[in-house]
Amino acid sequence: MCNKYDFIIVGGGVVGLATAYKLQLQFPAKSIAVLEKENSVAKHQTGRNSGVMHSGIYYKPGSYKAKNCKNGHTQLVNYSKKNNVTHDVCGKIIVATKNEELPMLENIFNRGIENKTAGICYLSSEELNKKEPFIKGVKAIWVPTAGIIDYVGLCKAFVKSIVEINSNSTFISNCEVLEVISKKNNSILKTSTKDFIAEKVVFCTGLQSDRIAEKDDLKLDVHIVGFRGDYFELTPEASYKIKNLVYPVPDPKFPFLGVHFTRMVDGSIECGPNAVFTFKREGYYRTSFSLKDTFEALTFRGTWKLFGKHWRKGIDEYKRAFSKRLFVKELQKLMPSITVNDIQPARAGVRAQAIDFDGNMVDDFKIMKHNNNIHVINAPSPAATACLAIADEIVEHVIK
């Protein structure tokens, strides 16, 4: 016999739990189950990202990212204040380290103006030095609305809020979806523990989103490829060298923001990440390998087209992944005084990146509907910041 719920959310990351929370607010009498294959919330992208609340300054005006980042940021701060989620709107600095980067810095500033990013202003090299004495640059942008947050704590708060609204709703861990059977009025999920049935199912499965979509017979024009990001952190003795968040001017050809310094909510200072192709979607070590993941990624033509376009960048990233000296050399562009003795190895994360058949990285969010189900196929940064705004969009799909 199936366990029946009005709604099922598959995926216990920040987008899945924000969606469950917003659905519960909209339909307080309806029951919701969140199914997660790991033993707790936020085990993958959510719990392994940089912990930043983005301001929305980077994104193309009018894009899904731009609209939802600002809205999501406001909602996120308000929810965190009400529910005691650790966070700090500390601001961040985007630094041009050489004159050649000034046109791109200006483009970012103009996007920020178009996106109505509150309070942004330019900093001269002297003003930059006052805010971050160890960072050197020719010009910078101060972004006061950026901040940091405990995303794992946020996910736990969402679970608590859902159950407080409806005691019949639940979070179920160690429950992996193996088969999806879509019928006219409901969907049946066969899992590693038992079968479930619901009128509507929302899949927010990150690194596994394309595979889950295929289980639902959804035809995709993209494939998920994983990019691992390795972090170092400043040693306790060197942690005084960074006060808040410091980013370089990003390479416009990539959806990554470059190696940066991030103060975390526990007071530590992370440096990174790089971005290297990973041979295992959920592999968090340099030697992690999955034959299945590697075979699928390397038999997808879009992967090779991506490599063909950006092989030099890929080689540079791989060199840094295995060389602390080269990683420090990249950090020295922002902080010339940093040495190999100032940093120590920290954690790693894997970013799920949708790539199309022509080798293009899909830069915006991608949500698809199929029968009674909704699939979040691509949710790159700033999806964590925008989680509550994305959830609002998904709720609208459910209502329609």
Residue tagged 């990351």 (tokens): 13
Q: Is the pLDDT of residue 363 over 90?
A: no
What is the band of 254 on the pLDDT scale with cuts at 50, 70, 90?
low
Q: What is the dihedral of CA 124, 130, 132, 135, to 10 degrees?
A: 50
What is the band of 184 on the pLDDT scale with cuts at 50, 70, 90?
confident
- Rounded to whole angstroms, the Cα distance separating 300 from 119 reads 44
Task: Give the C-alpha distances (Å, rounded to integers) separating 387 from 23, 91, 316, 383.
Answer: 13, 20, 32, 6
Provide the pLDDT for residue 319: 83
Provide the pLDDT for residue 1: 60
Cis peptide bond upstream of 382, omega within 30: yes
Of the listed ranges 207-221, 223-237, 307-321, the one predicted with least confidence: 307-321
Provide the pLDDT for residue 371: 87
Provide the pLDDT for residue 312: 83
What is the CATH number that goes with domain 3-47+152-221+363-399?
A: 3.50.50.60
Task: Indicate the pTM of the whole model.
Answer: 0.95
What is the band of 255 on the pLDDT scale with cuts at 50, 70, 90?
low
Same CATH fold assignment for domains 3-47+152-221+363-399 and 227-356: no
- Rounded to whole angstroms, the Cα distance separating 87 from 52 reads 9
Q: Is the pLDDT of residue 348 over 70?
A: yes
Provide the pLDDT for residue 64: 85
State which CATH number among 3.40.50, 3.30.559, 3.30.9, 2.60.120 fits the domain covering 227-356.
Answer: 3.30.9
The pLDDT > 90 percentage for the chain reads: 86
- Rounded to whole angstroms, the Cα distance separating 14 from 4 reads 24
Domain limits, the chain: 3-47+152-221+363-399, 92-144, 227-356
CB 95 within 8 A of CB 249: yes
pLDDT (tens digit per residue) in 267-289:
999 998 988 999 999 999 989 99
